[in-house]
């Protein structure tokens, strides 16, 4: 009986110590993330990233023949789906 009580007390102590270690680690991690965020914001103000504008490429408009093919394909798919 005495061993059971001692084992229970040891288990509770190990549990509390483990939870305290995890809590401490998570707290340190949150503060480290906040500090990193602050540093990154400060550096972005000091050294803003360069914005590179790329020229917009216009897509070629479809020719009449390509449009007719697309309409025909859409019509065939529609008829297949409707069961005709």
The answer to whether residue 75 sits within a structural domain is no
Q: How many domains does the chain have?
A: 1
Q: Give the whole-angstrom CA distance, residue 76 versus residue 57.
A: 32
Is residue 6, in this structure, part of any structural domain at all?
yes
Residue 19 lies in a domain: yes
What confidence tens digit (pLDDT) does each residue in 29-52 have?
Answer: 999 999 999 999 999 999 988 888
CA dist., res. 60 & res. 62, Å (int): 6
Domain extent for 24: 1-49
Kindly state whether residue 13 falls inside one of the protein's structural domains: yes
State residue 6's pLDDT score: 95
Higher pLDDT, 64 or 51: 51
């Amino acid at each position: 009986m005495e061993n059971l009580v001692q084992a229970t007390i040891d288990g509770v102590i190990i549990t509390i110590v483990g939870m305290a270690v995890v809590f401490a680690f998570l707290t340190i991690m949150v503060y480290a993330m906040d500090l990193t965020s602050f540093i990154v914001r400060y550096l972005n103000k000091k050294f803003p990233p360069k914005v590179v504008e790329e020229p917009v490429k216009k897509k070629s408009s479809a020719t009449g023949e390509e449009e007719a093919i697309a309409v025909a394909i859409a019509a065939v798919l529609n008829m297949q789906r409707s069961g005709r």
